[in-house]
Chain A
Amino acid sequence: MKGALREALQRARVDKVPVALVTQLEGGAQNLVYSSDQSNAEISLGSSQLEEIRDMLRVARSGMLPGDEFFVRSYVPPYRLLIVGAVHIAQALSVMAAQCDYQVTVIDPRRAFATAERFQGVELCAEWPDEAMARLLPDAQTAVVTLAHDPKIDDPALIAALGSGAFYIGALGSRRTHGKRLERLTDLGLEDQLQRINAPIGLKLGGRGHAEIAVSILAQLIQARYGG
């Protein structure tokens, strides 16, 4: 790998720009392919190959192109997880999700909950969820999980999440709690979006402990992301 290409690759990664490194395994020629252009073009790639590479980049897949001549390594910015409610489950979930390469932000306007001591090394945000969501702008690489168990905190986050492209939305609470939540959100005219909320949250694993519930939430998130 040449120095200029390596630097361009690292620049794209630091700037959170998706980029694919294409290598001709015989000889080692390399291109960087971005969503709309390419640079360092040592390899002359056909339009169908470029299309294939960009399809792989969109879903962050790496592998050989058909024909086994070229290897594609997709580099995409980390997926994000926005956790609303700095509660006990959030403490476990934030650590586990970071280990799965999510960039985690915990949002809670109650400063007694969102403390650096309870969430070491986790990005904390003490804004109200509607303000935080307006700033953080969830997209198709973002999951939003509400755990506060308080409609004043959870509902504004869910409303914002439902208006975004978030690939996963989950809300903690029993069926009964969720039923009331659905009524409130229906009153706000969000009826046709409500099936996007995973509630009760998490896969049914049977665990009751806070870390066990975090596992079930993370498992559901992984399933949603990969379509498993």
Chain B
Amino acid sequence: MSSDQSIDELARMGEWLANGHNAALATVVATWGSSPRPVGSHLVINDSGEFLGSVSGGCIEGAVVAEALDVMAEGSPRTLEFGVSDEEAWEVGLSCGGAIKIYLEPVA
């Protein structure tokens, strides 16, 4: 549970869009085990690769930003999963040993 003093990532995303950028919104939709960021946490990304917010406390942000650029180009949302059982996790893994599911969507 988190309240929203974070006026914040979504506001910044609105500014990017107003300035002619494309943007994507990543949201933590589920976590298993110990994960550093609660469900609902946001990361916003623009088409220059700038980002604000956090979905993991740092370990998978790079991978999410890379996926976000694809999502902006394609214009359709996708779901990402990261965890220690995932092959990829060794590259972009969650050192906390948890697992995390992220919904990544393009924003108009």
Contacts and interface: CB of A to CB of B under 8 A. Distances in A.
Interface residues of A, number: 31
Contacts of A63: 29-30, 39-40
A126 interface: no
Interface in B1-36: 1-7, 10-11, 13-14, 17, 25, 27, 29-30
B103 A77 contact: no
A13 B10 contact: yes
B77 interface: yes
A226 B3 contact: no
B72 to A, nearest CB: 12
Contacts of A10: 10-11, 14
B79 interface: yes
B103 A25 contact: yes
Majority-rule SS of A interface residues: mixed
Contact of B1 (A1, A59, A64, A103): A59
A60 B3 contact: yes
A156 interface: no
B4 A101 contact: yes
A77 B7 CA distance: 10
The contact size tier of chain B is 20 to 34
Nearest to B10: A10
A28 B77 contact: yes
B7 A14 contact: yes
A226 B1 contact: yes
Contacts of B106: 1
B76 interface: yes
Contacts of B6: 101
Given A71-B103, A226-B1, 14 more contacts: A6-B14, A10-B11, A13-B4, A13-B7, A25-B29, A25-B77, A60-B2, A60-B3, A62-B2, A64-B29, A71-B29, A73-B40, A75-B4, A78-B5
13 contacts: A2-B108, A10-B11, A13-B4, A14-B7, A23-B105, A59-B1, A60-B3, A62-B38, A63-B39, A71-B29, A79-B3, A101-B5, A102-B5
